[in-house]
Structure 1
């Protein structure tokens, strides 16, 4: 978010020998959205949102529009809903791919041509989100499929073909450089929307430090896979998170290829909630997880309140999923183990940059 005072997350890992004794997170600073937009007409924000939220801009626009419509008591047509869901899915696909290759293959010359072709196809897909661009979208989806096949993703399960750079990367991450403590996992879903929104509109500090009666669930691609498989206990290392990302890329591409129909869309991908006259909220399932917007309009139908809670606030909470995943884990030899910790932090895919520091308990 370009207006933030300090737009990064600082993670400090304290080591007691080879074990992680503590994880401290200093969150990013957030811009005062409510004060910035108070008294402005909602329409004036639509062009501003992509500059504030440079990542997942379409998801933020859909969430904002849906919340405004809920506040006004307005409905939308089936065609508009389908268009918005297709926009969110295309953007989620683009963001998952961007994170996949920027995070894992920035210097992989052997895959460079396929990656360029893939990103060109995704760019064309994003620009073809208008309902009138059906043929352009179909051509873009075909280009994406060809590029994914060149990178080793050839089926809807998303398992990379043996011997491809993706398969080798997964195998490297599966090495036991980091042994996390087994634990039960909790995931943020559409079933939590009412509770989250109620807290978001009642508590001004909730968006910075969310907490559902002591529960801080995880959200994102791996969480979506675990919910789909109805699993709450399982391996949660960087390899599992990378495999979940790859599998979701394959599923999203298949959904777009099959016509991007509302009736086959993921449950809860875009939801809106009317909270009373002039008050509304929306939830959108974007690449990094569940995004919430809540708005309030004054009597002149201008903005009087605007609250946002992004997926990063859950995953990088001081008592959240990343901290729980690392706390008590045992590292292999220090340099290799520290690289594994960095891979774990990166696998949670924050929407801003992060720093990672290590210190021995004896240093304090």
Structure 2
């Protein structure tokens, strides 16, 4: 069982109408160091069990980092399958939050039948992609039946249409403006539509609006120097780039899409509605991205040579993987097949940095006289769908 810890978030409303927040964490940040002295194969096998949130992303990052440290080349099919596994996990996490959290925010009981409806096709897809459970091993090679994988993706796509959008994905993708999102929400047939309608009706669209810096692409070598350097513990606990904390989330990934841009324009920035819109856009595109990767393996990439192992220097490897909650980074140093150093940088530490995007957004919410708890609850899960937290409003 994983040991993820929790965030403790305190919101205080001041008499002058401003808000203050404090975020403390019980998240254990050095767990991966427990693998020092173990074989690389053992570390990759055990690490997803230790970090059970986003386990597929953790496993993919661990395998890739260790392969790079060992100079092992991965083939394009395996790379694609690992990516599809992570995307499927991302979709699962978004769907689970939708069927569990969003009804709760609206005052409804979360349905267990909807939860099962999410897990069954996800598990079928995972088994179809990796029947031998070897893809996430060091040097693993993918062997799967594309027809069964595409069938499982189609079932997930139909589920997304039914429980998220209440319409086909083709119809949803035509909604590229704030006005179109508003029109869609008026149907109130799904929890997603009802939530957007509630946010609009209660004047919450701008809640949590704050300036944020999205995490840019960082070269592996530059990031490795920080993650495996002498100040790694400080960097992992309070990461910054260029002297500033950055955000890595569904919003950072979808900020340039037409719908998210227009909602941000309409609501004046990266507030609550913009973040919900980004989550919806991501959910709507994931089945198609997964389908394209699977089809591409056999249409264009079959028989291609392995992907050269990217090595920062002998014995060191780094992997960056976009997980449901944001960019996950693993760094490892291996000598004679034994792990000598292992560090993990989770996206939560970027997003909930004391001076980061969530902190500034929650401070704006704390300054509100009404509905602060309800808005803050929704805001936290909109930033990070997987984080454990306790919210206290004073």
Q: Do Structure 1 and Structure 2 share a fold, with TM-score over 0.5?
A: yes
Q: 1:172 to 1:60 in 2, by over 3 A?
A: same
- CA deviations over 1:284-334 (Å, ceiling 9, x no partner): 011111000000012x22000000001111111111110122334475553
Q: 1:58 to 1:332 in 2, by over 3 A?
A: same
Q: 1:235 to 1:164 in 2, by over 3 A?
A: farther
Structure 2 partner of 1:301:
337
Structure 2 partner of 1:236:
270
From 225, 236, 239, the counterpart of 1:207: 236
User: In the alignment, does 2:161 pair up with 1:149?
Assistant: yes
For 1:132-281, what aligned pairs fall within 5 Å after superposition? 132-151=144-163, 152-155=166-169, 157=172, 162-165=187-190, 166-174=192-200, 175-177=202-204, 179-180=206-207, 183-191=210-218, 194-202=221-229, 203-205=231-233, 206-228=235-257, 234-260=268-294, 261=296, 273-281=310-318
Provide structure 1 residue ranges, at least 5 long, that are not aligned to the other structure.
Answer: 265-269, 360-364
Instruction: State the distance in 2 between where 1:120 and 1:17 align.
Output: 50
Aligned partners of 1:225 and 1:244 also within 8 Å: yes
Instruction: State the distance in 2 between where 1:121 and 1:34 align.
Output: 31
- SS of the residue corresponding to residue 45 of structure 2 reads coil
| Cα RMSD (Å) | 3.0
For 1:69-84, what aligned pairs fall within 5 Å after superposition? 69-84=67-82
1:143 Cα deviation from its structure 2 partner: 1.8
Q: 1:43 to 1:350 in 2, by over 3 A?
A: same
- SS of the residue corresponding to residue 147 of structure 1 reads helix
| TM-score between both structures, scaled by the size of structure 2 | 0.79
Structure 2 partner of 1:358:
393
Instruction: State the distance in 2 between where 1:93 and 1:252 align.
Output: 7
Q: 1:181 to 1:29 in 2, by over 3 A?
A: closer
Aligned partners of 2:204 and 2:273 also within 8 Å: no
- CA deviations over 1:79-107 (Å, ceiling 9, x no partner): 11112111111111112211222221357
Provide structure 2 residue ranges, at least 5 long, that are not aligned to the other structure.
Answer: 131-142, 176-183, 301-306
Instruction: State the distance in 1 between where 2:199 and 2:111 align.
Output: 19
Instruction: Answer with 107-116 or 59-68: which moved more.
Output: 107-116
- SS of the residue corresponding to residue 40 of structure 1 reads coil
Q: 1:153 to 1:214 in 2, by over 3 A?
A: farther
Q: 1:193 to 1:10 in 2, by over 3 A?
A: farther
Q: 1:274 to 1:252 in 2, by over 3 A?
A: same
Aligned partners of 2:239 and 2:350 also within 8 Å: yes
Instruction: Answer with 221-230 or 283-292: which moved more.
Output: 221-230
How many residue pairs are counted as aligned between the two chains?
350
Q: 1:169 to 1:147 in 2, by over 3 A?
A: same
Instruction: State the distance in 1 between where 2:309 and 2:214 align.
Output: 20
Task: Give 1 or 2: higher helix fraction.
Answer: 2
Structure 2 partner of 1:362:
none
Task: Give 1 or 2: higher strand fraction.
Answer: 1
| TM-score between both structures, scaled by the size of structure 1 | 0.85
